[in-house]
Amino acid sequence: MSDHNILAFSDYREAERKFDYFVTGVSGALFAYLGPLYKPQRIELSPLSLEPLSLIFFAMAFYFGMKRIQSVVDVGAENHSLLDHQERSKKATDALKSDAFEFTTDAGQLVPREQLVLERNESNRLTAETRNNIHKLAEKSYRYYCRRNIFLYSGFASVLLHKLLIPYV
């Protein structure tokens, strides 16, 4: 991957994180603003019942926004592990390309060829496992993203309907 691609991807990730923080903050702020304005009433089938419903929607949007942020952080940690496992596997593979029986590590220790084969195989296994974890975490993050947005839109819709329908009660 070229430096230009890495920079573009880094900018994309930063913008994505800022957007997640913003949307989650808006959800929390709307809940905090509307909460004190709410006057508990008997829940019935009327536009007045949309007000507590919107509070629930904004609270859920905030919750799923926080879960989304947490899952994105977890994906980043797994990506770091993936790169570490790939680097270890590459170092072991490069060392095994020579015909020597022992190899000197970065720390200056001598490592037998069999040990390098085991390390490479273990790194390859961990790489595959980490890729699977990243895929699962990315799917989870996307589900949180969708749920957050659904609850946020539902909250906006219920507030709008409440404001539009309240004069007719």
Question: What pLDDT, on the 0 to 100 scale, is given for residue 107?
Answer: 62
Query: Which domains does the chain carry?
Result: 3-168 (1.20.1270)
Q: Which of 58, 74, 75, 73 is nearest to 23 (CA)?
A: 58
Task: Provide the whole-model pTM.
Answer: 0.79
- Residue pair 120/87 in contact by the 8 Å Cβ criterion: no
Single out the residue of 63, 42, 29, 58 nearest to residue 159, CA to CA.
58
Cβ-contact 91, 123 below 8 angstroms = no
Over the chain (169 residues), the average pLDDT of each successive run of 10 is: 75 87 91 84 78 92 95 92 89 77 64 82 92 94 96 94 83
The gap from C-alpha 120 to its chain's centroid, in whole angstroms, comes to 30
Nearest-5° Cα angle at 69, 125 to 156: 140
- Rounded CA gap, 75 and 48, in Å? 42
Contact indicator for 161, 57 with CB cutoff of 8 Å: no
- How far is 28 from 24, CA to CA, in rounded Å? 6
Determine the pLDDT at residue 38.
78
Q: Residue 89's pLDDT is what?
A: 87
